[in-house]
Amino acid sequence: MQTTMYMLTETSPYLLGLVIRTEGGNCIVIDGGRPEDMPLLKEYIGGRPVAAWFLTHPHVDHISGLVHEMEKNGGADFDIRRVICHFPDYDEWISHADEAPDKAYFLEELNEMLPAFNRIKHLFGDRLHTAEQGETFSIDELSFEILYTTHAGLYSNPMNDASMVFKITTPRTSVLILGDLGPEGGDVLFFESRDKLKADIVQMAHHGHMNVDFSVYAAIRPRACLWNAPRWVYDEPDVPSYLADREKLVRMKRIRMYGSALTREWMDILGVKEHYVSCEGTQTILL
């Protein structure tokens, strides 16, 4: 069987749930979503060992499903061999709360899922691996390279800009996972790793809106895009109503926030023809 990626359709809003079945009979999981997404995820894993479960960042729509499974029965419904992530250190980050442009928002973000994950992470034991930028490793026919992890000082869009970015390469193609990276995190990624960003397929950062700048996508030069997006996000205008208060965004230092229409224009400029969208059903992509 050729390496196959499944982008799961939305059981819950904004789901990023990717399952890769390897030629060696293993699975790779990326995020997975909320508790209500776990039955569909389990269906596509199909009893295979989860050689690695990647967690991009601690937001409820990305990791609460796995946290729930660990709280329920220690993850017994999944054969998890390794969990890979690089989350902010809670104590270190909360000590910098006064440096955030919007302290209340910063604290809300920090407390959304990170404490819950910290309460269950001991259940993974030595299966939990903190990935470091520049690290490489292989699983079956897949090669992985970590291109970006948490950077201190990015406090205006804290958890999204803490997204772990990594490239997956098979003998035939490459996929870049951007998580929910925003404009400032994207700037750092471009500065530090622009020569490594080229990939055939890109998972659109932050559902395709309020995301990395055009320069990042131009460096990637993808032929296909993975949109983990509900219909309203995929079809939204350049400046939706919730981004119309520019004074508020200036105060929060989040001024480079735009709707997905702009991102779709960028993809047109780059000549991308293939778009896989989660709201249109579970997507199957041969790697």
Phi, psi of 269, rounded to the nearest 5 degrees:
-60, -40
Residue type, 169: T
**pLDDT score of 1:** 77
Tokens for 3? 């390496």
Tokens for 115? 């404490």
- Whole-structure pTM value: 0.98
The string of DSSP codes covering 2-48 is --EEEE---SSTT--EEEEE-TTS-EEEEE--SGGGHHHHHHHHTT-
Question: In sequence order, what E strands does 170-242 have?
Answer: 174-177, 201-203, 224-227
Cβ atoms within 10 Å, residue 247: 8
**pLDDT score of 235:** 97
**pLDDT score of 87:** 98
Exposed/middle/buried for 149, CB within 10 Å: 0-12, 13-18, 19+?
Answer: buried
Tokens for 70? 């660990």
**pLDDT score of 215:** 98
Q: Which residues of the chain have pLDDT under 50?
A: none
Residue 266, sorted as left (phi over 0), alpha (psi -120 to 50) or beta, turns out to be: alpha
**pLDDT score of 159:** 98
Assess contact for 19 and 47: CB atoms under 8 A.
no
Q: Which of 141, 118, 140, 5 is nearest to 55 (CA)?
A: 118
Longest dimension (CA), the chain: 53
Per-residue pLDDT tens over the stretch 121-150: 999 999 999 999 999 999 999 999 999 999
